[in-house]
């Protein structure tokens, strides 16, 4: 009989320890891809069924895998060998795939990968007992189109390392290529690496949040420790910004960022309004996907004149609607609110845009205030919009447009709205997060 590891943890069902994991590898048949992008296989230990999560394994494959640890609902396992490959397995386009913690599904043929993304939305809705609406074709973000990247920077002696964390580790990949991000952002990696020994002291690290705006790169450097912005560091930051043609370079935490170099204002053009986003601002990951979202929102609003944009950020989905409509942007982040206020003053739109700072997770806009509008857009964070969805359900708004990057919380919020008399009429899936398990969507609901 094979030796087994000591049991770890306790079952939440009966208090008994879970069965020990085998020391040797198992041969498993992969049945599906889980929500995290890893393969799933079923087997049993001591007669107890277990679901194995195996990164980089595909449906239809037989694999050898080594169990690593118990997880809630199953066992994490490491792929050792592919015994029988799936016919839709392909060569990943990036040399870092499998080590980099960014992409999970580069090894899956495009048609199968795209169908799975759409199916994740359908499963989430079906899990809430919601009838599937008219599903529009999946909109794809092509390689090389991601306009935002968060790099990790680390100085090791006199070397600068720039890249992404390895999968499941704080170890750093010194990036040589990335087929996901815009080539102009990828080109900044070499410049950051070159200047890093002058920007950070030995053994220090930082995060570089890079947003590509309509006027070029907007970079926020967030050091991992308190570092003085002395003359030498300011001079080095100015040298880097000049040599890399950076629009704006800021330093510090997101809430306390100081613009150190502004060679030109970073601008996001939203219709007739130019917004200068705060350093490290949230932007839609792909400009092409953003355009698709804005087109869908404008079309689905129909004749609605008074529109409220909940979780509005810098007004990405709504400012382009003005001055043809009256727009109220509701956002909790102070820096984003300040940016939208400044942009609307500069555009002189005659009071057609109103900006409200409000934390909708703690203080949702109530139904009696929502009744002043003809339609609402809501684009919450991954956690969803549960408190605000409850108020929307109590409102009399005829049209709601939901945008989400999490099908599970989207389906939960839509269940509340459907129970209150809304009908999910249309759904647009968007593959904005290429080769990741995440998917964006926009949906139209009407009373």
Write out the catalytic residue numbers: 405
Side-chain-facing half-sphere of 9: CA atoms under 13 Å: 14
The span from the CA of 104 to the CA of 100, in Å, is: 9
Distance of CA 70 to the CA centre of its chain: 27
CB 446 within 8 A of CB 423: yes
Strands 326-331 and 306-310: parallel
The span from the CA of 219 to the CA of 185, in Å, is: 10
| Type and span of the H or E element at 415 | helix 407-419
CB 117 within 8 A of CB 138: yes
For CA atoms 161, 162, 163, 169, give the dihedral sign. Answer: positive
366: left (phi over 0), alpha (psi -120 to 50) or beta: beta
Residue 316 has φ and ψ, to the nearest 5°, of: -55, -45
First to last CA, the chain: 63
- Return the DSSP state at 285: S
Strands 148-156 and 134-135: unpaired
- Return the DSSP state at 319: G
Other CB atoms within 10 Å distance of the CB of residue 207: 16
Per the DSSP assignment, residues forming a β-bridge with 274 are 269
> Smallest Cα–Cα separation from 195: which of 237, 154, 249, 230?
237
- Return the DSSP state at 130: P
Q: Which residues contact 184 (CB under 8 A, 6 or more apart)?
A: 212, 217
| Type and span of the H or E element at 80 | strand 74-84
> Smallest Cα–Cα separation from 55: which of 84, 70, 35?
35
Residue 43 has φ and ψ, to the nearest 5°, of: -160, -175
């Amino acid at each position: 009989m094979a030796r087994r590891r000591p049991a770890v943890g306790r079952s939440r069902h009966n208090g008994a320890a879970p069965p020990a994991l085998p020391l040797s590898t198992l041969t498993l048949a992969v049945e599906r891809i889980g929500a995290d992008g890893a393969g799933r296989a079923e087997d049993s230990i001591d007669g107890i069924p277990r679901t194995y999560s195996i990164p980089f394994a595909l449906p239809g494959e037989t694999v050898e895998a080594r169990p690593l640890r118990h997880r809630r609902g199953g066992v994490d396992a490491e792929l050792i060998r592919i015994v029988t490959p799936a016919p839709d397995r392909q060569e990943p386009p990036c040399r870092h795939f499998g080590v980099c913690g960014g992409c999970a599904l580069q090894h899956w043929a495009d048609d199968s990968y795209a169908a799975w993304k759409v199916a994740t939305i359908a499963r989430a809705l079906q899990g809430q007992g919601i009838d599937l609406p008219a599903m529009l074709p999946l909109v794809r973000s092509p390689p090389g189109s991601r306009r935002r990247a968060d790099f990790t920077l680390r100085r090791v002696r006199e070397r600068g390392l720039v890249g992404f964390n390895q999968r499941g580790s704080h170890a750093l990949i010194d990036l040589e290529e990335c087929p996901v991000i815009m080539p102009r952002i990828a080109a900044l990696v070499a410049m950051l690496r070159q200047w890093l020994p002058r920007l950070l002291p030995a053994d220090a690290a930082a995060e570089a949040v890079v947003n590509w705006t309509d006027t070029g790169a907007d970079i926020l450097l967030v050091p991992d420790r308190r570092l003085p912005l002395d003359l030498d560091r300011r001079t080095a930051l100015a040298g880097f910004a000049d040599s890399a043609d950076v629009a704006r370079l800021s330093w510090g935490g997101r809430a306390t960022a100081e613009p150190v170099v502004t060679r030109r204002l970073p601008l996001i053009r939203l219709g007739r309004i130019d917004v200068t986003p705060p350093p490290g601002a949230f932007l839609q990951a792909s400009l092409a996907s953003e355009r698709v979202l804005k087109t869908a929102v404008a079309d689905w609003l129909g004749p609605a004149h008074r529109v409220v944009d909940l979780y509005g950020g810098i007004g990405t989905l709504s400012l382009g609607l003005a001055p043809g409509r009256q727009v109220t942007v509701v956002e909790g982040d102070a820096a984003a609110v300040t940016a939208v206020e400044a942009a609307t003053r500069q555009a002189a739109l005659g009071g057609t845009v109103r900006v409200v700072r409000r934390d909708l997770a703690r203080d949702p806009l109530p139904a009696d205030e929502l009744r002043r509008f003809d339609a609402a857009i809501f684009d919450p964070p991954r956690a969803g919009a549960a408190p605000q969805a409850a108020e929307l359900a109590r409102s009399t708004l005829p049209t709601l447009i939901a945008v989400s990057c999490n099908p599970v919380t989207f389906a939960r919020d839509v269940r509340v709205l459907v129970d209150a008399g809304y009908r999910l009429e249309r759904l647009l899936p968007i593959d904005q997060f290429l080769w990741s398990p995440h998917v964006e969507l926009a949906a139209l609901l009407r009373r």
